[in-house]
Amino acid sequence: MNQKTSCPVCGYDRSRDAGRTPSLVRLGREKIPFGGGHAPEPERTAELEARVAELEQEAAALRREKEEAAGQLARASRRISELEQQNLRLSQQGATVTHELAGMVRQQSASPNRREEPQSDVARHLAQITRQPDAPDRQLEASAWMSARSADGLWQAGKTPGSIRPQEGARIPAEVSVPAVWDGQPVTRLEDSSFKNTRVRRVILPEGLREIGANCFDECWELAEVTLPSTLRAMGPGAFRRCGKLERIKLPDGIAAVEDETFAYCTSLREAVLPAGLTQMGESAFAACRQLERMTLPDGISIIRRETFLGCSLLRELKLPEQLRWVESRAFYGCGSLRTLQFPRCLEGIAQDAFTSCRSLTRLVLPFGIIMKRKLPALPSGCQVEFRH
């Protein structure tokens, strides 16, 4: 009896595939063997189609979840914006109430014939939050003023107690008066880079301020006037670097050190008055101060650091300190107007290139002992050297 070789579904004659190696057809992720191009079984086809339908449903569900998540994110963003606006309004209202209450307290205190009346609990609470015990009226005014400024978005607390800085993105006015008290605390420090690269022109710093952070006024090209308090004790490196319109600076007596590049590239600086107690000057402290003509260095300075007066092309007169012991590399590089310098007897050495490009230098007075130490600098032609015991 002959065996039936045709496919019961499509009628394909399977005897034609005799001796052939069954090939593989890739359908989806699976390989289905069949001979000579024969189509897969109907049951298998239905199973694969059902699987494809399931995957499409899962993909549709994932798309819906993604859309729902995007909607939730948008609603959360709108809510955050609403809360920020509400917080700003509340801050402004609080500043207004504080200011009004301060005025009411002062008015009642100034009335000579006012009659004592019993206060309610609410009134006593308001009095406590608007005025500290035994605090003078001027502190109350300062607190109210500071609350208004804070609500206005100018100041924010710094990293350490007593330090402040302008808020990120705040619009800095041309004239700035830094408050003496902020958020109930005395202001003792301006944070690093507080006014960097702003267009501020005039700055008044309050009494009580003790430190100006590094790069605090760096690149304030329009800054022409700054008032330093007598309480100031320290200025960070680059504190007034590149203040292109600053013409005069007087440091208070409490300053003991001028850090690296503190006044570098102050191209309009004509006069710098240093305190008698100054003992240190950093590298490039007055570099590229092209309009600086004269300066007196306090006697406590023992080292003129590297490139301290580099590029001070108009510097003509410089009184050196009695305790000076060493002059470092390129200290007077490019001081083309400098004509004469007289060094003290305690001088121990001068760097070889200290007077590079000092083309007008004609007279140098040095202690005799420096010859024995062989610490003589290279000098321009025509410069006469005098030695003294």
Residue pLDDT, tens place only, 59-71? 888 888 888 888 8
Share of the chain above pLDDT 90, in %: 54
The amino acid at residue 55 is L
**Cβ atoms 297, 276 nearer than 8 A:** no
Q: Report d(CA 218, CA 253) in Å as an integer.
A: 23
Predicted confidence at residue 52, as pLDDT, reads 85
Is residue 22's pLDDT more than 80?
no
Is residue 123's pLDDT more than 80?
no
Share of the chain above pLDDT 70, in %: 71
Predicted confidence at residue 365, as pLDDT, reads 94
The amino acid at residue 138 is R
Predicted confidence at residue 273, as pLDDT, reads 97
Is residue 369's pLDDT more than 70?
yes
Extract the tokens encoding 322: 């009695």
Predicted confidence at residue 131, as pLDDT, reads 42
Q: Report d(CA 331, CA 298) in Å as an integer.
A: 17
**Cβ atoms 322, 302 nearer than 8 A:** no
C-alpha distances (whole Å) from 134 to each of 58, 114, 139, 144, 154 are: 72, 20, 10, 17, 29
C-alpha distances (whole Å) from 159 to each of 101, 164, 180, 232, 344 are: 31, 8, 17, 19, 45
Is residue 384's pLDDT more than 70?
yes
Extract the tokens encoding 300: 């406590």
**Cβ atoms 369, 349 nearer than 8 A:** no
Extract the tokens encoding 93: 């209202």
What angle, 0 to 180 degrees and rounded to 10, lies between the N-to-C axes of helices 137-152 and 121-130? 80
**Cβ atoms 42, 34 nearer than 8 A:** no
| Helices vs. strands in the chain: H and E counts, helices first | 4, 24
The amino acid at residue 94 is G
Q: Report d(CA 352, CA 328) in Å as an integer.
A: 9
Mean pLDDT confidence for 216-240: 97
Mean pLDDT confidence for 318-328: 96
* pLDDT-based confidence at residue 113 (cuts at 50, 70, 90): very low
Architecture of domain 154-388: Alpha-Beta Horseshoe (3.80)
H or E segment at 346? none
